[in-house]
Amino acid sequence: MRPPHQDVPEATLRRLPIYYRCLQDMMAAGVVHVVSCADLARALGLDATLVRKDIEMTGIVGKPRVGYPLEDLVRWIENFLGLNRPKAAVLAGTGSLGSALMGYGKFRTHGMQIVAAFDIDPEKIGQPVHGMEVQPLFCLPDFVRNTGTPLGLIATPAGAAQSVADLMVSGGIRAIWNFAPAHIRVPRRIILQNEDLYYSLASLSFKLEHLMTVAPVESDLYVKNN
């Protein structure tokens, strides 16, 4: 199998986990043992050509007009995305969002394990969060350096995000998953993934405003009937 390449479109990388979960559900149901891109597209309400192109990006070869052995396709995507090779991560910021991330059990089954958590709040330091003792933030670079942890999660307030990213980089972190509502700068060698909840909320708000404007009657009926 070829390793993931930088030229895999971001949109494809975002859809592959959706396919993976759907295929896992199919496998758990035990109804089918062979699946085609058309089958997967129907199950997800997507265009079959798009699904086929995404699956082809992983390098797997199926049988024309037949498809792929279901279990083989699940394992192939799992290996392509690295979900079967857990990656250790450190978390900075153990407030409401950080605590929620620590408690999200599916991270472990999808290739990531938070192994240490850090904060600057004296009331949080030394206290357990989901069974893990919170450490002082200044200890983060040494922890990363000594353990070789490759991934850092930022769940701090916006004003602290850049300084936390700098700490992570100084310790040798390879990739940062930024949940803080802030634009941060990192060296080009560092992979940066931003999860901007404010952007998603703004997009959702705009679409909802449009829907309420063009179809207020239908919207009102829906509310009344529920």
| Domain boundaries of the chain, sorted by first residue | 10-81, 87-195, 200-226
- Fold adopted by 10-81: Arc Repressor Mutant, subunit A (1.10.10)
The overall pTM is greater than 0.85: no
pLDDT value of residue 204: 86
CB atoms within 10 A of CB 193: 12
Lowest mean pLDDT among 24-33, 91-100, 105-114, 171-180: 105-114
CB atoms within 10 A of CB 25: 10
Give the residue ranges of DSSP H helices in 58-215. Answer: 70-81, 96-102, 106-109, 140-147, 158-171, 197-214
What is the residue-averaged pLDDT of the chain?
89
- Segment holding 34, helix H or strand E: strand 34-35
Q: What is the mean pLDDT of residues 21-42?
A: 93
- Fold adopted by 87-195: Rossmann fold (3.40.50)
